[in-house]
Amino acid sequence: MSFLEFPIRRYQFTLVAFAMLVALGITSFLNIPRQEDPYFPLAAFQITAIYPGAEPQDVERRIAKPIEDRLSELDDLKSVESHSKDGVAVILAEFYSLVDADRKYDEVVREINALRVLLPPELAKLEIRKINPGLVNIVQFALVSADASYRELEDQARNLKDTLKSVDGVRTAETWAYPPRELRIALDLPRMAELQLNSEQVLQALQGANANVPGGSIDIGSRNFTLKTSGSYKSLEEVRDTVVAVTQHRMVRVRDIAEVSWNTQEHGYVGRYNGQRAVFVTANQKDSYNIFGVRDRILEAAQQFQEQLPRHIRLELGFDQSRNVASRLNRLSADFAIAIALVAITLLPLGLRAAGVVMISIPLSLAIGISILHFLGYSLNQISIAGFVVALGLLVDDSIVVVENIARFLRAGHSRVQAAVLATKQIFQAIVGCTATIMFAFLPLMLLTGNAGKFIRVLPTTVVATVAASLLVALTIIPFLASRMLSGHQAPEGNRVLQALTQGIHRFYQPLLHRALARPRWTVWGSLAVCLAVMLIVAGIIGFSLFPKADTPHFLVVVETPDGSSLAETDKALRFVEARLQDMPQVDWFFTNLGHGNPQIYYNEMGNEGDASYGDIFVRLTSYDTRKTPRLLDELRQRLAHYPNARIYVREFQNGPPITAPIAIRVIGHDLDRLYALAAQVEKLVAATPGTRDVENPVRIQRTNLKLEVDAQKAALLGVSTAELDRATRLAVAGLPAGRYQDLDGEQYDIVLRSPMNARASLTALEQVRVATSTGQTLPLSQLADLQFSAAPTRIHRYNRDRAVVISAEVRSGYNTDKVTGAVLQRLNQMEWPRGYHYVPGGELESRTESFDGLQSATIIALLGIIAVLVLEFGSFKSTLIVLTVVPFGIAGGIVMLALTGYSISFTATIGFIALLGIETKNSILLVDFTNRLRADGVPLDEAIERAGEIRFLPILLTSATAIGGLMPLALQNSGMYSPLAWVIIGGLISSTFVARIVTPVVYKLIPPAIAMNPHRGLADTAVLR
């Protein structure tokens, strides 16, 4: 008993086996994690260094450059960038995508730790963070109150954070948008001068008393005891009682010269919810958890927490990622249901029973496919569901061919079991080859490198798993069901729908094919010439792109005031935007962030560390419409465009790996003045290019600093050191860090030494600074130093260890990014660049180059894999070449369809073209295989070609129609992500089904493969010679 007979004759085992697979599929569907987007690891890391009081040039020289040099020694480094500004250095290191991200993280940590001793000892912070798309917050709460103190809000936020951390499935929770608490020691400078004390003595006394040095252990008798030393501070009284010095035979304690109290740091990050003062609490989920279950448990915990809140504080849930996931899943599920209905309609020519048998393959194949996906560790997200929708039109193809062939054998008079066995055996080799070509088209996509390849990998994995499952179903359960459900007495002509289609094929297709066969060379070369011309012309018109905007109701409004602006100035611009948003009925809610970016809520938006000149507003609309929402955002841009002294722009979230902006130009050079001049030229050039908007030059306006010019001779005569002057100034303006204080709950706070002040530093504070002389007297700072205004760089950016300025721009609606970028680069090439200065394109062009390089390799591998399958199946290069003639016609159809629907050749569209290689080749395999069989049975060449074309046209038409029906809802979704992929396959199938069904038989006539005659003449296998 052969493999193909076993499922039919031992049907009891077949039914039990598939019942088990269905149960496994249902279990997997219920337990598979659900997320908005797929998780993909990035070998990228951010090093943040806080160097208080340092200017950008000092930060660059002493922090950024040494770290860059050390990181450059590591293998597989793709790029290193740094941003140096006042007191802060941020270094971004990205490694090639093939490396192990965790191993590279360990290497980076090791190198930075080894470098730490060579960095300035004044560093307040040195942090290494993984750039992890998986750390997206799934909820963002707001604790809103108009009159609660920040300390009370902080306490409640910390309580909520602890509550959320205890929820099953929550990885971590964080608090945002309030001034951190500090233990402030406000010095009495006149009193210190009387006692001839300086701030350095106080600082050393505090640090010495707060040292936590392990005492070790000692043995007493037979027991071992740990020796505990005095340790760190336990209370504010201990801080106040710290001895600073002994003068005039008495101890001077901190309480004698300073006031010790809890206070808050300057408001570096202020938050509002719908325009009302608020602090934020976020939470993200662990891997392999279902977002809906985690969200329900979070809301239950938040509800219990809300019940114990004071009345003047209310808890608001703003961002809820599960709403996005539910919306996407519901929309794709609806598309899925429509696709199933369309597939069912296309099967009507087979008859109701035959169509019912074929439709059974859908749930069976999907159940097996989702089990494989779950086993491989993937989640159910927008990409994987799109993969199932793409597979839907393909997974019935094998079943259609099997059932149609069984029905043909039944019409020829065979019994049901005999027809099922013989029909399946006859086309076994052909459908295995067909499925193998589809799998080889998608398999290379699973091996794509780069971040874009990682992002999209679950889609080809889903298709391959589901199509492989459909082959198993078509060769086992479908023949058995057909042998039981199909009528044993079928009319030779089939049902009425089938008769109508057969008559149409005979009336229209057969005469066209007959005429084409009469003039084969004209048909082939003319068709290929038209096809190539269409591909080249239309592809040049529609252009290229990478990933489209995300179809989400969320967006950001970013506000940037000139560097050096105060928080108050930036806040004016933010309030201007808030007023416009409150006038829009389409706005659901918004989070305002002053001095910092919103916490990470999208996988490729990492958040902005920010400063006083930065702010953004995270907005949600009540709904998203693919046509109305872009117009609404354009109107909002126009309303925000005329605000003075601030750059305000609306940024929509993008699909794919993170990029700075669609257009980004790095101007590279060494001298800052010349670099800034070139950057200004590039900015004007980009702004003058049609299609650009929101052009950003981060060094457009240089900041004016206040510089302390010390009269060194006078200071020396009075016995005042420069260090003492600097320390006194810092005391008045920012304070001096004196260590950390840990409370009984384990929370740690900064201990800050400063002069008495409660407001933000101003020029008045500097006028009040006094310094002690060697005689014990105090003098105003103004008698020893002058304040002068001086121009200084606002920030220094470096790219791959060279200084750089990044000019970025967005692309206006209706313009193609690739064409606008090309126009910008053409103008840049016409500029005169001084020696040692050049530009490096970034943005979408850089990402696309990396992504499409991988796609080129994938295309070649897919094509070679398909050729290998064809050569293995036919044993003939001629048959293989005949089958492959369909490829250019499918590609041309896909390009024309993109042009007709208004899309460019994007990353996902290119995946559609690669998939099309296998899908359209499959149809030609059926045609060529059947032609070979007819010739082996002794049918003359022209008659075999015409008979095969006519007989196989129906199953080819049905499989193409089901694929188109399955993809049509995805195409009509008007999604920039999925619609191009669907339209490419639809257009390719239409052209290959009708045009190639003429050309492929004609090519067969021009280069007919040699066929060994079948001695049994009938339904036996055909041997095809080389």
pLDDT digits (tens, 9 = 90+) for 862-911: 888 888 888 888 888 898 899 888 888 889 999 999 989 888 888 788 88
Residue written as tokens 């002053």? 594
Mean pLDDT of 823-829: 92
- Position 1019 confidence tier, pLDDT thresholds 50, 70, 90: very low
- What CA–CA distance (Å, rounded) separates 407 from 737? 85
Amino acid 179: pLDDT: 83
Query: Residue 776: left (phi > 0), alpha (psi -120 to 50), or beta?
Result: left
- The 3-state secondary structure of 371-406, one letter per residue: HHHHHCCCCECHHHHHHHHHHHCCCCHHHHHHHHHH
Could you tell me the two tokens for 506? Answer: 């005979």
Q: Which helix (H) or strand (E) holds 806?
A: strand 802-811
The DSSP result for 760-803, as a single string, is ---HHHHHT-EEE-TTS-EEEGGGTEEEEEEEE-S-EEEETTEE
Amino acid 1020: pLDDT: 39
Strand, helix or coil for residue 726: helix
Q: Among residues 944, 939, 938, which one has the least CA distance to residue 1014?
A: 938
Looking at every residue in the chain, the average pLDDT score rounds to 83
- Position 716 confidence tier, pLDDT thresholds 50, 70, 90: confident
Amino acid 371: pLDDT: 93
- What CA–CA distance (Å, rounded) separates 950 from 952? 6
Other CB atoms within a 10 A radius of the CB of residue 429 amount to 16
Please, where are the H alpha helices in 124-234? Answer: 150-165, 189-194, 199-209
Taken in order of first residue, the domains within the chain and their CATH numbers are: 1-31+347-447+464-487 (1.20.1640.10), 41-132 (3.30.70.1430), 181-211+230-264+703-792 (3.30.2090.10), 513-548+868-1026 (1.20.1640.10)
- Position 497 confidence tier, pLDDT thresholds 50, 70, 90: low
Is the confidence at residue 229, as pLDDT, over 80? no
Q: Which helix (H) or strand (E) holds 980?
A: helix 979-994
Residue 775, Cβ density class (10 Å: 0-12 exposed, 13-18 middle, ≥19 buried):
exposed
Among 53-67, 70-84, 441-455, name the one with the lowest average pLDDT: 441-455
The DSSP result for 236-281, as a single string, is HHHHHT-EEEEETTEEEEHHHHEEEEEEE---S-EEEETTEEEEEE
Planar angle of CA 535, 541, 546, nearest 5 degrees: 95
pTM for the whole thing?
0.77
Strand, helix or coil for residue 322: helix
Mean pLDDT of 372-387: 86
The DSSP result for 559-587, as a single string, is EEPPTT--HHHHHHHHHHHHHHHHT-TTE
Among 59-63, 716-720, 821-825, name the one with the lowest average pLDDT: 716-720
What contacts 653, CB < 8 A, 6 or more positions away?
549, 550, 552, 554, 555, 556, 602, 604, 605
Q: Determine contact, residues 483/419, Cβ cutoff 8 Å.
A: yes
Beta partners for 487?
A: none
Amino acid 175: pLDDT: 93
Residue written as tokens 């040195």? 126
- Position 181 confidence tier, pLDDT thresholds 50, 70, 90: confident
Q: Which helix (H) or strand (E) holds 987?
A: helix 979-994
Q: Which helix (H) or strand (E) holds 921?
A: helix 907-936
First to last CA, the chain: 31
Q: Among residues 518, 373, 315, which one has the least CA distance to residue 38?
A: 373
Amino acid 332: pLDDT: 67
Amino acid 74: pLDDT: 92
* Residue, of 744 and 692, whose pLDDT is higher: 692
- Position 687 confidence tier, pLDDT thresholds 50, 70, 90: very high
- Position 665 confidence tier, pLDDT thresholds 50, 70, 90: very high
Could you tell me the two tokens for 600? Answer: 């990470």
Amino acid 215: pLDDT: 56
Q: Determine contact, residues 752/185, Cβ cutoff 8 Å.
A: yes
Q: What is the CA radius of gyration of the chain?
A: 36
Mean pLDDT of 782-802: 80
Q: Determine contact, residues 292/322, Cβ cutoff 8 Å.
A: yes
Q: Among residues 467, 411, 505, which one has the least CA distance to residue 954?
A: 505
- Position 1025 confidence tier, pLDDT thresholds 50, 70, 90: very low
Query: Residue 589: left (phi > 0), alpha (psi -120 to 50), or beta?
Result: beta
Q: Which of 75-84, 215-224, 355-364 has the highest mean pLDDT?
A: 75-84
Mean pLDDT of 172-188: 87
Strand, helix or coil for residue 142: strand
Residue written as tokens 């191993």? 103
- The 3-state secondary structure of 331-382, one letter per residue: HHHHHHHHHHHHHHHHCHHHCHHHHHHHHHHHHHHHHHHHHHHHHCCCCECH
**Percent of the chain scored above 70 by pLDDT?**
91
- Position 1024 confidence tier, pLDDT thresholds 50, 70, 90: very low
What contacts 836, CB < 8 A, 6 or more positions away?
669, 670
- What CA–CA distance (Å, rounded) separates 944 from 966? 32
- Position 1023 confidence tier, pLDDT thresholds 50, 70, 90: very low
Residue 533, Cβ density class (10 Å: 0-12 exposed, 13-18 middle, ≥19 buried):
exposed
Residue written as tokens 């269409």? 534
Rounded to whole angstroms, what are the CA distances from 148 to 155, 176, 589, 995, 1025?
11, 16, 22, 73, 87
Could you tell me the two tokens for 852? Answer: 């499409």
Backbone angles phi, psi at 375, to 5 degrees: -65, -35
- What CA–CA distance (Å, rounded) separates 912 from 915? 5
Q: Determine contact, residues 611/593, Cβ cutoff 8 Å.
A: no
Amino acid 826: pLDDT: 92
* Residue, of 888 and 962, whose pLDDT is higher: 888
Residue 793, Cβ density class (10 Å: 0-12 exposed, 13-18 middle, ≥19 buried):
buried
- What CA–CA distance (Å, rounded) separates 604 from 608? 12
Torsion angle (degrees, nearest 10) of CA 450, 452, 458, 461:
-60
Other CB atoms within a 10 A radius of the CB of residue 867 amount to 18
Is the confidence at residue 615, as pLDDT, over 70? yes
Mean pLDDT of 804-810: 91
Q: Beta strand 181-187 with 748-754: parallel, antiparallel or unpaired? A: parallel
Amino acid 574: pLDDT: 95
Could you tell me the two tokens for 60? Answer: 């660059």
Rounded to whole angstroms, what are the CA distances from 921 to 395, 470, 674, 855?
15, 18, 58, 19
Sign of CA pseudo-dihedral 734, 740, 743, 746: positive
Rounded to whole angstroms, what are the CA distances from 432 to 18, 472, 820?
20, 10, 46
Is the confidence at residue 760, as pLDDT, over 60? no
Mean pLDDT of 958-977: 82
Amino acid 319: pLDDT: 94
Mean pLDDT of 746-755: 80
Q: Determine contact, residues 270/760, Cβ cutoff 8 Å.
A: no
Strand, helix or coil for residue 711: coil
Q: Determine contact, residues 1023/936, Cβ cutoff 8 Å.
A: yes
Q: Which helix (H) or strand (E) holds 614?
A: strand 614-621
Q: Among residues 694, 898, 904, 666, which one has the least CA distance to residue 812?
A: 694
Q: Beta strand 692-696 with 770-772: parallel, antiparallel or unpaired? A: unpaired
Q: Determine contact, residues 243/197, Cβ cutoff 8 Å.
A: no
Q: Determine contact, residues 925/433, Cβ cutoff 8 Å.
A: yes
- What CA–CA distance (Å, rounded) separates 883 from 32? 40
Among 82-86, 449-453, 532-536, 801-805, name the one with the lowest average pLDDT: 449-453
Q: Beta strand 802-811 with 796-799: parallel, antiparallel or unpaired? A: antiparallel
Count how many residues are written for the chain: 1026
Is the confidence at residue 189, as pLDDT, over 80? no
Torsion angle (degrees, nearest 10) of CA 674, 676, 678, 683:
-170
Q: Estimate to the nearest angstrom the gap between the alpha carbon of 421 and the chain centroid.
A: 49
Other CB atoms within a 10 A radius of the CB of residue 967 amount to 28
Torsion angle (degrees, nearest 10) of CA 451, 457, 459, 462:
-160
Backbone angles phi, psi at 796, to 5 degrees: -125, 120
